[in-house]
Amino acid sequence: MIYWLDLFGTMVFAVSGALAAGRKNLDLFGVLVLAVVTAIGGGTLRDVTLGATPVFWITDPIYLWVASIAGLITIYLARHEFLHRRFLPIADALGLATFCVIGAERALAFGVNPAIAVLMGVMTGVFGGMLRDVLCGEVPLVLRREIYATAALLGASVTVVLGMVLPGTALATWLGLLCAVTLRLAAIRWNLSLPLFVHQPRG
Amino acid sequence: MIYWLDLFGTMVFAVSGALAAGRKNLDLFGVLVLAVVTAIGGGTLRDVTLGATPVFWITDPIYLWVASIAGLITIYLARHEFLHRRFLPIADALGLATFCVIGAERALAFGVNPAIAVLMGVMTGVFGGMLRDVLCGEVPLVLRREIYATAALLGASVTVVLGMVLPGTALATWLGLLCAVTLRLAAIRWNLSLPLFVHQPRG
Amino acid sequence: MIYWLDLFGTMVFAVSGALAAGRKNLDLFGVLVLAVVTAIGGGTLRDVTLGATPVFWITDPIYLWVASIAGLITIYLARHEFLHRRFLPIADALGLATFCVIGAERALAFGVNPAIAVLMGVMTGVFGGMLRDVLCGEVPLVLRREIYATAALLGASVTVVLGMVLPGTALATWLGLLCAVTLRLAAIRWNLSLPLFVHQPRG
């Protein structure tokens, strides 16, 4: 079940990467690259810094196939407003929640301390989108907008803490997922955001 | 022979990095960094994700020397139109072909499955140029222009497939090289390109 | 003592990352990310390419805490001109010197050859700032401005060479630090810079 959610998250992130490529008028290869990079960027950074190499998509190439195919299909579906307005934000919240929870658990399984596991969860959730934006020549959206990374932080924290209190059950995983999705959807619904740090040096 | 081609590819990519630095008015250090990053970026990502660490230029620093010296010499040669118009595109095609074939073979030698080996070949060929463009504040050229990554894909695929059919000969390597160079040069000559994915959301 | 200097360097680089976030109007999470990325980016690249994984901040999370807290405090101190005009340039020179010397020594301890150790030192010193600028959508400052990387190069070289001549003493470390700080401060004071490589293709 978690595995399927993970593949679903990969698909959703690939779609968001391909849509970004469409806004920048990239060619077919550009669409593929942005889809794949967005989908696997976070997990790759996690595995590389942990030293869990070869990274997950080398061990299990299904992730690459899912991301590539999702990216290509997106080209044909991109004209439907439905995809942008309804499906994507909700699917993206699910993808984010899955990635942060799975990222944290993978780090824990690798034996890191809890604070690092939380960080790894957040990184898995947000780094792919940051790469997408940098490749498109933009300041990463996640650094300036509403409660996005914060939802990942909540989800990963809940999973890690509950996993210590109640080891051996799946409760930690599911509650982490639920918290992250809920906070993210609430942030979209009511336009919640973190305070901006606006500073212009006077000189 | 392959080793020399690899060093030649390193040199060519370093030249293209240094020329990009020249267009952005970077200082001497900037030229060096862009030359080296363009030349070794692809192979570094390949080795790091494979877990083949320390990466190749730590094991064999000759790559760093070649890239640095090529970058510095470029400063003095940059005024010659010849370099831009004639030498660079053809040399770049050779460098790309070499990198994608060698990248794929190195991944195979590391024991990954064939599809991943092809991907590693493409990554080795194009990632250095993507880093160069991102450091220059531009959307990577390879994501929007003519058949570039596609040539790398062809070369790596030919090498990997032939290497399975006819193991133990150098035929796979040379045919992969030939295919990649040919497709790339044909794309330059006749201005071939992949279809663009142009999408402007209506809302 | 060196350990404390290292934490000090982490703090200073985090402050510079947070200030960059302030200029771009990022939110709270953006400030945290830029602070942490600037502070640990160089060391992370060093460890990942060396294969010294898990990377240093997984083994010793104190670096993450220092960077995060320094980033948050910066938000409250950012209005003081003093921070920008006086403290930051000098502290940054100290941070750069520490990072390049420690980076070189860590690489040496890992058994790489001297030239690579020097490169690793420079990378540790400058890569965090390059990531900061790329995330802010700018061409990295270090590629175009005064003697910055050059100071890191000097410090790392002095440490590596002296460390071979006089092994087992701390002299190499301290002299490397001193050289890097001195050159950097001199460059600020007298506005020294490397020649630019200006090239506009005629065609």
Q: Over the stretch B121-152, which tens digit does the pLDDT of each residue have? A: 999 999 988 888 888 888 887 776 667 888 99
- In A, which residues are within 8 Å of C54 by CB distance? 49-51, 110, 112
DSSP calls for C113-171: -HHHHHHHHHHHHHHHHHHHHHHTTS--GGGTSSSSHHHHHHHHHHHHHHHHHSTTSSH
Which amino acid is present at A163? G
Query: Is A196 inside any structural domain?
Result: no
What ipTM describes this predicted complex? 0.79
Contacts of C116 in chain B (CB under 8 A): 57-58, 61, 64
Cβ neighbours of C29 in A, within 8 Å: 142-143, 148-150, 194
Q: What token pair was written down for C38?
A: 């600037």
Task: Please tell me the distance from the alpha carbon of residue B74 to that of residue B197, in angstroms, as a whole number.
Answer: 36
Residue B195: predicted pLDDT: 64
Contact of C101 with C74, CB cutoff 8 Å: no
% pLDDT > 90, chain B: 30
Average confidence (pLDDT) over C144-163: 86
pLDDT at B99: 92
Chain B neighbors of C51, CB-CB under 8 A = 51, 53-55
Residues in chain A: 203
Q: Closest partner residue to C26 among A115, A144, A202, by Cβ?
A: A144
Residue A195 per-residue DSSP state: P
Helix (H, G, I), strand (E, B) or coil at C79: coil
Q: Does C136 touch chain A (CB under 8 A)?
A: yes
Q: Which residues of B touch A61 (CB under 8 A)?
A: 113, 115-116
Quick check: C50 and B53 in contact, CB under 8 A? yes
**Mean pLDDT, residues A8-16:** 90
- Quick one: pLDDT band at residue B203, thresholds 50, 70, 90? very low
Residue C200 included in any domain: no
Asked whether residue B196 is assigned to any structural domain, the reply reads no
For the record, the structure tokens of B115 come out as 């599809």
Eight-state DSSP code of residue B137: T
Residue C136 counted as domain residue: yes
Q: What is the pLDDT of residues C154-191, one digit of tens each?
A: 999 999 999 888 877 788 889 999 999 999 888 888 77
User: Residue B63 corresponds to which tokens in the numbers above?
Assistant: 């790559």
pLDDT at C202: 45
| Nearest alpha carbon to residue C127 among C96, C154, C101 | C96
- Give the model confidence (pLDDT) of B140-193 as tens digits: 877 766 678 889 999 999 999 998 888 777 888 999 999 999 998 888 887 776
pTM, two decimals, is 0.85
Interface test with A, best of B199, B200, B202 (most A CBs within 10 A): B199
Given pLDDT bands bounded at 50, 70 and 90, which one contains residue C103? very high
Of C49, C197, C200, the CB nearest to B26: C197
> Are C49 and B58 in contact (CB < 8 Å)?
yes
Q: Provide mean pLDDT across the span A164-170.
A: 80
Residue A199 lies in a domain: no
Q: Smallest Cβ distance to B27: which of C116, C137, C144?
A: C144
In a domain, A10, yes or no: yes
Q: Is residue A197 part of a domain?
A: no
Looking from the CA of B186 toward its CB, the CA atoms found within 13 Å total 8
Q: Give the max Cα distance, chain B.
A: 58
Count other Cβ atoms within 10 Å, centred on residue B59: 14
Angle (nearest 5°) at CA B124 between B121 and B128: 155
Does some domain include residue C199? no
Domain count within chain A: 1
Q: Cα–Cα distance between B152 and B140 in angstroms, integer?
A: 16
Question: A147 falls in which pLDDT band (50, 70, 90)?
Answer: confident
- pLDDT, greater one: B20 or C99: C99
DSSP H helices, A110-197, are 114-135, 149-165, 171-190
* Interface touch B49/A61, C-beta < 8 Å: no
Reduced to 3 DSSP states, what percent helix, strand and coil does chain C have, rounded to the nearest 5?
A: 75, 0, 20
* CA distance, residue B80 to nearest chain A CA (Å): 31
Q: Which domain holds residue C158?
A: 2-190
Query: What single-letter amino acid sits at A169?
Result: T
CA distances from A42 to A20, A96, A124, C149 (A): 17, 11, 4, 29
CA distance C19 to B101: 44
The closest alpha carbon to C195, from B14, B15, B32, belongs to B32
Position A2 pLDDT exceeds 80: no
How many Å lie between the alpha carbon of C168 and the closest alpha carbon of chain A? 31
Core vs surface per residue B158-197: b (16+ CB within 10 A) or e = bbbebbeeeeeeeebbbbbbebbbebbbebbeeeeebebb
Interface contact flag, B81 C201, Cβ < 8 Å? yes
CA Rg, chain B, in Å? 17
Chain A nearest-CA distance from B125, in A, is: 13
